[in-house]
Each structure stands twice: as structure tokens, then as C-alpha cells.
Amino acid sequence: MTRGTHVSDRHPRAESIRIRERLTKHVETGVVALAGLIAHGRGEAFDYILGERTTSSAMRAITSAAAALLLARRPVLSVNGNVAALCAKELVELAEASGAKLEVNLFHRLPGRDSAIEELLRDAGAEEVLGVGDAASARIDEVNSDRRRVDPRGILAADAVFVPLEDGDRAEALRRMDKTVIAVDLNPLSRTAQLASITIVDNVVRAMPLLVSEAERLRALRVEELRTIVSAFSNRDALSDAMRLMEERLHTLSEKGVYIELHGRE
Ligand code: PTJ
């Protein structure tokens, strides 16, 4: 069993350690796949380079994503293990604010994982959770993993699918099916980031509450106003921004080499 380390608030990486603890705890509950820990580590590395903040470019992607979800007639939020462990409450809030359905969709569909994730979502207030057990009865043949198993009432019929922390295979298949694909991925080089319609290059932990508040704010707008927001967005520009910001930050830090000071020494 994993023990909590009760990390002190004064630890400079306290928040990052707490997030890791949440994920490792949820490996034990069956929510998070072991590969989810590897995926998280890769995300953390990019977040480090990005400066662990929501950039103004990512904020524009968030606004555009909220508008696209509100415009969709059948929006679906696809939930995997990592996102359920980190953002169950915000997923339920986003479903409410945008009128989207929640569907469990897993890369590693091991026995019991789907119902463990459903339980987490229901504890967070979800009334309906698609894609659990036999409900994932439809197949997207182009997808080469368990992710091909989808709910005919959800992802299969959806016109917009939110796919936080995705693997490129399905993002590509969903785009080919003419669906709007909204991704959250700290790695702007990943196939998902490259192939999505809207990529939010940010940590899902920071992006989700912002996405909820944007969906709530934009709900008051007219359809034409929402369309204007979506059509003004360019994913190519968003990805260029993310890569350039990482490059600039590394460049600035490389001038210093040592950029963290040792305190408390003469
Ligand atoms: O729960 P399952 O079975 O559906 O599996 C989920 C994972 C995440 C294991 C599965 O989808 C997977 O293997 O994903 P990948 O191919 O490793 O891609 C995950 C992407 O998410 C990588 O590009 C990471 O950089 C990125 N990422 C990881 N953690 C975060 C993140 N992006 C934003 N916020 C994070 N916290």
C-alpha cells in the first residue's frame, strides 16, 4: 500500500507531490492505470519547461474549447483514469455547464476500472455515466486499442468530443469521423496535440477549473458570437505559441544555467 507522505506546505514542490500521491492512491483503487503514472511524468516534464502556468495562448484555447462545447449538439466528455483521479469534480461541473454527457473511455480497459471511474464520477455528483460495462457496445474500428469500445449514445453519436490526456490514435480516428476534437496535452509535439481541432497546452489540473468558468460565462452568448470565437482560433498558432514559449523560457534560463538560489548561506 502507498502511504501518504504528509508533505509540508513549505516544500517547494508540495502541490506536485500531492498530485502524484493522488494518482498513486488511485492506482490502488483501480482508477489509474500503471501507464498513467508514466504519462503523468511525461506531462510534468513539459510543464516544467512551460513554467507551470496557464499561458495566455492556452487561455485562448480554453475559451475556444468552451465555445465549441456549447455550440455542439451532442458534446461528450471522454473520461480516462488520470483525469478521473485528478478532476472528477470539474468534469461533472463542465458536463453541467456545457450540456455534455460523461463517458468512460479507456486505453487499458482492465476488469473493474470502468466501474471504479464511474463511482468516482457519481461521488462527484454525476447522474449519468456512459461507457461502463456492456454499455460500451459500439466499436470504432480505426482505433487500435481498447479505446475503440464506445457507447452508441455517447462518443459514437457525438459531434464534439473532449479528450483530455489522450493517445493520438483515437484523436485521429475521431477527426476522420468529422467530429470536433478538444484535447488537453502538455506535450505540443504529441500526435493528439497535433491532430486535435483545439489543443489546450496546459496541465489538466489548471485547465479544468478555467474551462468550467469559461463555459459558465459563455453560456449567455448567442450562437453567432460563439461561432466567431471558434473560427478565430487557430490550432496551428496555439501549438506554435506553446513551442515558442518553451523555447524562449529555456533560452532565458540557459543564459543563467543556475537559476535556483541556495538560501540561508553566507
Ligand atoms: O486510463 P487509460 O487506460 O485510458 O489510460 C490513460 C493514459 C494517459 C495512460 C493513456 O491515454 C496514455 O498512455 O496516454 P499517453 O499516450 O501517455 O499520452 C498522455 C499525454 O498526456 C502525454 O502527451 C502527456 O504529456 C500528457 N499529460 C500527462 N499528464 C498531463 C498531461 N497533459 C496535461 N495535464 C497533465 N496532468
Among protein residues, the one whose CA lies closest to atom 20 of ligand 1: 165
The residues facing 3 across adjacent strands are none
Of 49, 77, 165, the one to substitute when testing ligand 1's pocket (max ligand atoms within 8 A of C-beta) is 165
pLDDT tier for residue 265 given thresholds of 50, 70 and 90: low
Per-residue pLDDT of 175-228, as tens digits, reads: 999 999 999 999 999 999 999 999 999 999 999 999 999 999 999 999 999 999
Of 82, 106, 187, the one to substitute when testing ligand 1's pocket (max ligand atoms within 8 A of C-beta) is 82
Residue 4: the pLDDT is 55
Task: Yes or no: say if 90 and 210 are a contact pair by the CB < 8 Å rule.
Answer: no
CA of 122 to the centre of ligand 1 (A): 23
What count of other Cβ atoms lies within 10 Å of the Cβ of residue 64? 25
CA of 222 to the centre of ligand 1 (A): 34
pTM: 0.96
Three-class HEC string of 142-162? CCCCHHHEECCCCCCCCCEEE
Which ligand 1 atom is nearest residue 106's CA? 4
Among protein residues, the one whose CA lies closest to atom 8 of ligand 1: 36
Amino acid identity of residue 67, one-letter, is: A
Could you give the CA distance from residue 206 to residue 235 in angstroms, rounded to a whole number? 20
Among protein residues, the one whose CA lies closest to atom 23 of ligand 1: 187
Residues whose CB is less than 8 angstroms from the CB of residue 51 and which lie 6 or more positions away in sequence, other chains included? 245, 249
Ligand 1, CB cutoff 6 Å, lining residues: 33, 35-36, 39-40, 42-43, 46, 80-82, 106-108, 165-167, 184-187, 190, 203-205
CA of 252 to the centre of ligand 1 (A): 28
Residue 17: the pLDDT is 87
Among protein residues, the one whose CA lies closest to atom 35 of ligand 1: 203
Among protein residues, the one whose CA lies closest to atom 30 of ligand 1: 43
Amino acid identity of residue 176, one-letter, is: R
Per-residue pLDDT of 220-243, as tens digits, reads: 999 999 999 999 999 999 999 999
Per-residue pLDDT of 29-72, as tens digits, reads: 999 999 999 999 999 999 999 999 999 999 999 999 999 999 99
